[in-house]
Structure 1
Amino acid sequence: MKILITMGVKEHHEEELKKSAAGAELLFVPADKVRLDELADADVIIGNIPPELLPAATNLRWLQLNTAGADAFCKKGVLKDDVLLTNATGAYGLALSEHLLAQLLAMMKKLYPYYDNQKKAIWHDEGQVTSIENATVLILGIGDIGRAFARRVKALGAYVIGVRRRTGSKPVGIDELGTLKNLDSLLARADVVVSILPSTAATTGLFDKGRFAAMKKGAYFLNIGRGNAVVTNDLIEAMRAGHLAGAALDVTDPEPLPESHPLWQTPGVYITPHISGDDHLPATQDRIVQIAARNLAAFLKGEPLENLVNRETGYKN
């Protein structure tokens, strides 16, 4: 059994993976340095590699991603039908929920304008601020990340509405549950709208001119899922019209955002370059390795894997 590890790991992570795969051959190679012959020999790949290289992995039986998002690997022709695909759902809740909370509080308390004033040596009161307490927070996507964010804003006194693809039991920490079918009525009630949606046919262009118009005037919009859930020009129009109080984006469409793109200069828009996840928080990398190690041990024993991805929906089963 040949196992190719392409994600970045530290020494203690290597030891953890080796312990979970006794008797197997593990090869640690960064994703950008993998040779085609190494891909061809691999029975298992742990870590994301460019999807266009995967047809060379002719012996591949299982791909474990180090990301929660799997959309690029669900496209036809990337993986053979009999290859198992698993993601790292469960590793990113802490990092991304804290990033969202930081962005939201910075907008609500006008920390961004005050920082701009500081750089210009301007002593100026920016006026009234808002609070998470008693705010209605609408979260689209209540998997691990959405639930982690819900717990944090709930602790600060928010009323939390979760949106998922289909109805079901209401997760702990969610006050109310809805689906995309009643999204417009939910948008009208929300003081804060958070998108943690993957890229699917149903989510592409979801936030367009009509959806921004349906949002409460003065609401905040945050996107940490996929940039193509937003029609960028429509968001720019909503911001320039003063309809929204602020928009914090860790993902954009297009991405990377070109230097000349008007979104950079749109008042009230705050952009980070898709950095809320990855391994910026050491705990995230630890959790990714733990998921991979558990799955590796299970795979070698012929046991079911966690975080199996449905390639039709792009979501974890």
Structure 2
Amino acid sequence: MSTPNSDDRADARSLLSLAAVRALAHVRAAGLPGTAPQAPITVNFHPDRLLADGRPVSAHLAAEGVYRSQFETRISSGALLAYPGGDRDRWEHHMFAGAYTGVTGRPIYGALNLAGHPDGAAPRFGSCHLVLRPSVADRATFCHGDSHLQPTAVGTADRFGAIRQALLDQVATTGAALGVTAHSPQSWQAGLATAKHHPGRTLDDYVEAQLHGGLTLRDHVTAVVADPSFIGTPTEADLRTLGIPLHWHTGFALPADAFPADLRGPAVPPLARDIAARFGSPVLDAEVIGRAARAGDDPQLIKYLWHLLVLLGRPHTGR
């Protein structure tokens, strides 16, 4: 991990609430010695989902320059579990030893992009992602896998040993981790450093990151990487006003009649065909699925459509 300068460290300290300090200290104490490899934290999100006032996420980001947690936005890529007494509240209570009990400001969730996947480290959570500055890792906690599973391999950037060992054990057992296949832990580590030109499609295989102390685009983000289905849309216009570089990954596109019933249930294929008919698009992509989400289609089925698009979609070639 690169070493932040003194100004970065002072900035990080000034952002931390007492709850964040306690949460970081608790996870650091549970971690094992070892420094995290140099890699950016990415925060995947759907830029075209609507907030309570009817404006999309991209418009709020453009207007405020602040990325907010689910506790504040009240939106989710599936079921909304972030509310007092909800599942996310209970998971955070367990992971951070109650540090955030009764506190409004909560961690921002992302993932450590150790493999350098162009679609971000955790594309299940969105078609676009923010690339964070290295300095924010000083105020992040990490776990192997998703925190809702209450993982035991946790740590911080300077206490990363348990997570590293969990990844190596995963490779030894399954032959892959973080979307990188290998015949040995040594070849896997070499594979992490190989430049990636194709999406990682890592729906369930990531090192989750919890960023404590807030996230502003101007101070903490180096780039936004977007799905090309948004080119020429109001979403692109919003993203271009964020004041940070905008890049595009290869995107995902899949014919509506190619969505299978055996991966996310039998209700998904007919919904894909219905969306194609309603919006006049025989091929579904992130932008078309977003239109269906804004039209009020079942959020859980929309989430499943997105998962299948990530798993099976071909590179987006435009309309």
Range of TM-score over shorter length: under 0.3
Structure 1 or 2: larger helix share?
2
TM-score by length of 2: 0.25
